[in-house]
Amino acid sequence: MSNTTSTRNGPPLNGPAVFALPADLAVIGDQLARLQRPACALQAGGPEAAAAWCATHDLPSVLLVDIGGHAHPIAALLELAALTGPACRIVALGDQQDVDLYRQLLQAGIFDYLIKPPRLDLLTDTLARADEDAPLGQGGNARAGRSAAIVGAGGGLGVSTLTASLGLWLAHTRQTPTALVDFDRRKGDLPLLLGLEADAGLASLLAAPEVDPRLLQRTLLAVGQAQEHATPRLQLLAQRPGPETAFDPERALEIGGALCQWYSLSLWDLPSHRPVGADEVLAHSDVRIVLTELSVQGARNTHRLLAELAELGHGGASQRLLLVASHARHAQRTALELAQFEDFVGRGVDQQLPYAGPALAASLLQGPLSMQAAPAYAQAVAQLGARVLGLPSAAAIKEGGVAQRLRSWLNRSAPAARPARA
């Protein structure tokens, strides 16, 4: 029987993984064995070692990470959290009785902080609360992922291509657990772009009386695997093209809430006609991306759409909007200069997507969408992805931060991969 444990709202996950000093590993490993929860990993190191291991293994239910002596523990743990997703509870291990540090860790979404080596009773309590997703002194989730809704000011601007490209960049380059939702129920393109065959999954969920986490997990389609034994970082929720049957708009919000419990980021591909449920997603998403074109019609549509989104804004001050100009219709001459467009809509353009030519479409003849076929477009997508994640745009191009460290760790000492869960 595999060493797994169930969470309250999610699927079974691997048992605890521990990254600490060698002297502490033996103690913690023995404690976990006594609790009949043997670790799926006991390795020397800290957040960087944990990140390298998580990039090539199934994610654990709980991740115990030593931050003792780390110069920037909060930043390191936040980068690690982006790799694992909210369903993995991160417990920091340290040797300082520091209340300020403890408060900062909790505010950053870290599940708990234990002095090493931890006392058996405290470790027992922490693991039990992790199983129930019950942080100290509060209910609900310890961490939650973010959502981004992508909508076009008109049709044919490449919203689905952008959604698929962003998802591939997030999952493969940034190693970020990501879920894509193709909300175009009439003629969704994401399955085709990602080389998958959609079923009736989304339609069944929307018609269900409530969102069953197990049903949602079985409905998601895995999009490739970066490593032979690694859990796919990209999942798709879609359906075969069909009629837009009626459903309670709250169901879309329930699906979004469930995805935010398991994935660091969920991207919603919303059709421009905004069917039932789309406005609810736009109102509550953390990031709203509006795709438009530099034309008179594009300016008019964008001006109207931005006004409607302002009325839908329920996300508070933290909700962000990104305006992206697409040059997908390269055959048509641009009718407006950028300054004219921005003056008309009353807002600056955050990002421009270059014309990719037939290269991206041609790549589909060989399989899933290949970003290597259009380097300039891929670079723009990386810059937009960095904006969505709140990173400096240079980080996307230089592949700095955690991605660079992951490569160096994997090249230096790639650990033997564990078999994937059945």
Burial of residue 82 (CB within 10 Å: 0-12, 13-18, 19+) is: buried
Start-to-end CA distance of the chain, whole Å, equals 11
Average pLDDT over residues 233-248: 89
Q: How many CB atoms lie within 10 A of CB 308?
A: 11
How confident is the model at residue 102, as a pLDDT? 84
Looking from the CA of 196 toward its CB, the CA atoms found within 13 Å total: 24
Cα–Cα separations (whole angstroms), residue 36 to 5, 31, 39, 122: 11, 9, 9, 16
For the entire predicted model, the pTM comes to 0.73
**Cα–Cα distance measured from residue 87 to residue 110, given in angstroms and rounded to the nearest whole number:** 12
Cβ atoms of 279 and 151 within 8 Å: the answer is: no
Q: Where are the domains of the chain?
A: 4-142, 146-391
Tokens 């080596």, located at residue: 117
How confident is the model at residue 67, as a pLDDT? 94
Mean pLDDT, the chain, whole residue set? 82
Average pLDDT over residues 249-264: 89
The band of 330, judged by pLDDT with boundaries at 50, 70 and 90, is low
* 333 pLDDT more than 90: no
Average pLDDT over residues 260-289: 93
Q: What is the DSSP letter of 112?
A: E
Closest CA to 163 of 231, 226, 234: 234
How confident is the model at residue 408, as a pLDDT? 41
The band of 97, judged by pLDDT with boundaries at 50, 70 and 90, is confident
Query: Pick the residue with more confidence: 25 or 317?
Result: 25
* 412 pLDDT more than 80: no
Domain 146-391 belongs to what topology?
A: Rossmann fold (3.40.50)
3-state DSSP assignment of residue 333:
coil
Task: Give strand ranges (E) for 118-264.
Answer: 146-152, 178-182, 221-222, 234-237
Report residue 345 as tokens. Answer: 């809509």
CATH topology identical between 4-142 and 146-391: yes
How confident is the model at residue 419, as a pLDDT? 36
96-100, 145-149, 390-394: the lowest-pLDDT one: 390-394
How confident is the model at residue 3, as a pLDDT? 45
Cβ atoms of 157 and 353 within 8 Å: the answer is: no
Average pLDDT over residues 334-349: 90
pLDDT above 70: percentage of residues in the chain: 84
**Cα–Cα distance measured from residue 279 to residue 210, given in angstroms and rounded to the nearest whole number:** 20
Query: Pick the residue with more confidence: 144 or 16?
Result: 16
How confident is the model at residue 204, as a pLDDT? 87
Average pLDDT over residues 297-322: 86
> 112-171 pLDDT, tens per residue?
999 988 989 889 989 988 888 777 655 444 567 899 999 999 988 999 999 999 999 998
How confident is the model at residue 143, as a pLDDT? 66
Cβ atoms of 406 and 230 within 8 Å: the answer is: no
Burial of residue 32 (CB within 10 Å: 0-12, 13-18, 19+) is: buried
The band of 316, judged by pLDDT with boundaries at 50, 70 and 90, is low
Closest CA to 313 of 290, 346, 280, 272: 280
Cβ atoms of 28 and 35 within 8 Å: the answer is: no
How confident is the model at residue 156, as a pLDDT? 87
**Cα–Cα distance measured from residue 59 to residue 396, given in angstroms and rounded to the nearest whole number:** 24
The band of 231, judged by pLDDT with boundaries at 50, 70 and 90, is low
Average pLDDT over residues 28-39: 90
Secondary structure of 372-391 in HEC code, one letter for each residue: HHCHHHHHHHHHHHHHHHCC
Query: Pick the residue with more confidence: 109 or 160?
Result: 160
Average pLDDT over residues 171-189: 91
How confident is the model at residue 399, as a pLDDT? 45
Pick the CATH number of 4-142 from 3.40.50.2300, 3.90.700.10, 3.40.50.150, 3.40.50.720: 3.40.50.2300
For residue 94, which phi and psi values (nearest 5 degrees)? -150, 180
* 227 pLDDT more than 50: no
How confident is the model at residue 226, as a pLDDT? 43
Report residue 106 as tokens. Answer: 């909790």
Report residue 385 as tokens. Answer: 């992805």
